[in-house]
Amino acid sequence: MDYDTIAAISTPTGEGAISIVRLSGSEAVAAADRLFQGRKTLHDVDSHTIHYGKIVDPETKKTVEEVMVSVMRKPKTFTREDVVEINCHGGLTSVNRVLELVLDQNVRLAEPGEFTKRAFLNGRIDLSQAEAVMDLIRAKTDQAMNIALNQMEGKLSHLVRNLRQQLLDILAAVEVNIDYPEYDDAEVMTNKILFEKASEVRYQIDRVLSTARQGKILREGLSTVIIGRPNVGKSSLLNQLVHESKAIVTNVPGTTRDVIEEYVNVQGVPLRLVDTAGIRDTEDLVEKIGVSRSKEILKTAELVLLLINSHEELTDEDRMLFQLIGTTPAIILLNKADLPLNTSVDEVKNLAGSNPILRTSMTDDRGLEELEQAIASLFFSNRVTENNETYVSNTRHIALLKQARSAINDAIDAADQGVPVDMTQIDIKRTWDLLGEIVGDTVSDGLINELFSKFCLGK
């Protein structure tokens, strides 16, 4: 299939000194050639080589930019089309000027994610691998990046394809048995085979689903809210966390949310700090937005950090905040531990229930290490390592795996109860379909467009 030629600036603006204008499609080399002046015409150069020259405006004959141009001919490219990358070292203006000239050469501006979409449409990668490209761009920690890389290399695809093959094998085995109805126990035998083989598939689905919680946290961050009365040290804690953080990642461009978020990396756990604006303004979350809205935020949060000023006695407001936490996992910080203790620890223990309590000080860093460990151990009972486990982290994949799990479970139950085999076959086929959606074998064009539209420009 031949698509039109597309181009975009492929480096995020403001990052690094070099920006790349990337072209992909059958006209890519010809279009670049009309603008490029170097020792050779790009038409004549070998594939996968890089060339120094100038980009010249064909109308004014003026040099726009000194460039290095890479020429990569299909099929050994990311999109499986001819790809040209024009490396510009100049500022934003000259890069934009180069792109403008490129777009005058019968080349269309790429939509967000369109390069990756081409790679998918041309069979270079499957859907879960394409989604991993996006995850990689947005990864908040090394672990999140590792998961994305594994997925991009096809680990999840491999597992899914393997499971789908097993399901086809089951269907084939059933067909063979049914074709010999003269065999007395055909139905019983078939159900037995079905039960055993489907149980094996269910076991493997369960196994990968067991990584979902950690995978999702690593991918999306653990939504965390810091609460406490005014002046207990919320802003100071926030500043400490941001300061300590190994990799601070700012908001993902293109995502608009009504709450302000900030990411910090705590021993590999990305915390997504929600509504930090309120904290920064030294305004109080509860005071600012009211009790009922606070309750809502705290309910959807995955972690609450509640600060108490341990230099003072507990107030009714403190007690109210304990109530607000509800069942959300929380860590209680008896802050200002550098000052004399005036809070009743027994009462705090009572109010805290099973939530851990730590003594902290933002002025002498006391308890921060313990806090980081408490967060890590609350969510990662077994440490995340680069072992051979296949992680699933994407919400869409998790939902499909859960549906597939339920479908295969129906098949197992049916086989167990001796339901007619053709009924069971339907459940097996449904499982096969659902797993196919993960890799994109059985998805609609609409969904594909929607998924790719979430990508960043130039990817």
Q: Known binder of ligand: residue 224?
A: no
By CB under 6 A, tell whether 234 contacts ligand GDP: yes
Span near Zn ion by CB under 5 A; candidates 275-283, 286-294, 295-303, 428-436? 275-283
Looking at 199, 235, 328, 373, which residue binds Zn ion (CB under 5 A)? 235
Token pair for 316: 């009714």
Please list every residue from 276 through 305 that binds ligand GDP, using CB under 6 A.
279, 282
User: Please, what is the minimum distance in Å from the beta carbon of residue 230 to Zn ion?
Assistant: 7
Place of tokens 């608009």: 256
User: Please, what is the minimum distance in Å from the beta carbon of residue 340 to ligand GDP?
Assistant: 10
**H/E run at residue 176:** helix 155-178
Q: Known binder of ligand: residue 236?
A: yes
Q: Known binder of ligand: residue 173?
A: no
In this structure, are residues 237 and 309 in contact, taking their beta carbons and an 8 Å threshold? no
Residue closer to Zn ion by CB (options 235, 240) is 235
Site string for ligand GDP, 331-350 (x = CB under 6 A): ----xx-xx-----------
Q: Known binder of ligand: residue 116?
A: no
User: Please, what is the minimum distance in Å from the beta carbon of residue 265 to Zn ion?
Assistant: 22
Q: What is the dihedral of CA 214, 217, 218, 222, to 10 degrees?
A: -140
Site string for Zn ion, 277-306 (x = CB under 5 A): -----x------------------------
Residue closer to Zn ion by CB (options 226, 271) is 226
User: Please, what is the minimum distance in Å from the beta carbon of residue 238 to Zn ion?
Assistant: 8
β-strand pairing of 330-335 with 357-359: parallel
Q: Known binder of ligand: residue 295?
A: no
Strand, coil or helix: 7? strand
Distance from C-alpha of 416 to C-alpha of 419, rounded to nearest angstrom: 8
Q: Known binder of ligand: residue 394?
A: no
Q: Known binder of ligand: residue 336?
A: yes
Residue closer to ligand GDP by CB (options 22, 336) is 336
Closest Cα partner for 263 from 241, 285, 281, 279? 241
Residue closer to Zn ion by CB (options 280, 359) is 280
Distance from C-alpha of 400 to C-alpha of 392, rounded to nearest angstrom: 11
Distance from C-alpha of 372 to C-alpha of 331, rounded to nearest angstrom: 11
Token pair for 271: 């915390």
Span near ligand GDP by CB under 6 A; candidates 25-33, 68-76, 231-239, 421-429? 231-239
Distance from C-alpha of 28 to C-alpha of 5, rounded to nearest angstrom: 6
Residue closer to Zn ion by CB (options 216, 234) is 234
Q: Known binder of ligand: residue 191?
A: no
Q: Which residues pair with 50 in a beta bridge?
A: 70
User: Please, what is the minimum distance in Å from the beta carbon of residue 287 to Zn ion?
Assistant: 12
Token pair for 144: 């999140």
Token pair for 421: 């085999």
In this structure, are residues 72 and 83 in contact, taking their beta carbons and an 8 Å threshold? yes
Place of tokens 């990864």: 139
Token pair for 79: 């999109």
Q: By CB neighbour count within 10 A (0-12 exposed, 13-18 middle, 19+ buried), where does 54 fall?
A: middle
Which residues belong to the annotated binding site for GTP? 231-236, 250-256, 275-278, 335-338
Which residues belong to the annotated binding site for K(+)? 231, 250, 252, 255
Binding site for Zn ion (CB under 5 A): 234-235, 282
Binding site for ligand GDP (CB under 6 A): 228, 230-236, 279, 282, 335-336, 338-339, 361-363
